[in-house]
Amino acid sequence: MKYSGLYFIPNQTSQSADASNTASGLISSLETHFHTFTRSSPWTLTYRLFRDQQPKSDPSDAPAPYAHTYQHFLTHTSLSQVRAFIHVAPPTGTGSVTAIPSSQSDAQASLVRNQFAALWSPRQTLSVQNGATYTGGLFTVEIGEVRALREAQGSGFSSPGVVVCISTVAGQEDGGAAPDSAANGDAEQTDLEFIQATIRELWGKIREGHDLRKAEVREVLMAPRAENKREVEDATVRMWCEVLRLRG
């Protein structure tokens, strides 16, 4: 099964040139350390975040803490060329992931924004254009500059950072025998820990020579519970949504 780790490197200035330089530097480092990796088709991403509106309360009542639910819209060409994903994330639990035709994603997001404004408020719109993809052995690495639409100003964008996704193969493919013993479970846990360590090691090589200490790089690894293709896809969507939710 496919297993991924995702890294977000925040841009210290929000200037596009600085984020582009970071992305270019990481690509150059990848090409330097991994000569056998080959560049393949670019990828694109569009992400929209909505947050539920807090119910109105009696002004005389004392303010009470409120845990929000989030609705994520994700279109990612590496996940699917024809589908978009909607992830509803409640305060607790994993929430749900639903796939819709990608051609309907803009209309669906517009519906939530305009017709359900009393229930959902827009928080951010992000995109990645012409992201770089490299493959080598069992690994695929994606690097892209994240751009945020400045909706309040009506136009333009800022560059909040760069994303690096490292994917590889872990465990059995669909159709393999399901684990039925504690020994198999221990072996899978050991395998997962090894895969995670390998992803971190590859990321360490890519970032080598780049002073990212002040950037507070964020790491999110895919949830380990996925056992079939659909669950892997859902876990990948949740991972991307968790990293791309830059605002509360």
The pLDDT of residue 1 = 81
Residue 164, pLDDT score: 98
pLDDT value, residue 227: 75
- The phi-psi region of residue 240 (left if phi > 0; otherwise alpha if psi is between -120 and 50; otherwise beta) is alpha
Pairing assessment for the beta strands 83-89 and 70-76 based on DSSP bridges: antiparallel
State the Rg of the chain over Cα: 20
Q: What is the pLDDT of residues 66-118, one digit of tens each?
A: 899 999 999 999 999 999 999 999 998 889 999 999 999 999 999 999 999 99
CATH architecture of 2-43+128-244: 2-Layer Sandwich (3.30)
Q: What CA–CA distance (Å, rounded) separates 29 from 68?
A: 40
Give residue limits of the domains in the chain. 2-43+128-244
Counting Cα atoms < 13 Å in the Cβ hemisphere of 8 gives 18
Asked if residues 87 and 109 have their Cβ atoms less than 8 Å apart, the reply is: no
Cα three-residue angle 117-123-125, rounded to 5 degrees:
110
pLDDT at 64: 76
Rounded Cα distance between 142 and 69, Å, is 29
Per-residue pLDDT at 153: 57
Per-residue pLDDT of the chain (248 residues; tens, 9 = 90+): 889 999 999 998 867 889 999 999 999 999 999 999 999 999 999 999 999 998 887 676 767 788 999 999 999 999 999 999 999 999 988 899 999 999 999 999 999 999 999 999 999 999 999 999 999 999 999 999 999 987 655 567 889 999 999 999 876 555 444 455 555 556 667 688 999 999 999 999 999 877 776 678 999 999 876 678 899 999 999 999 999 999 76
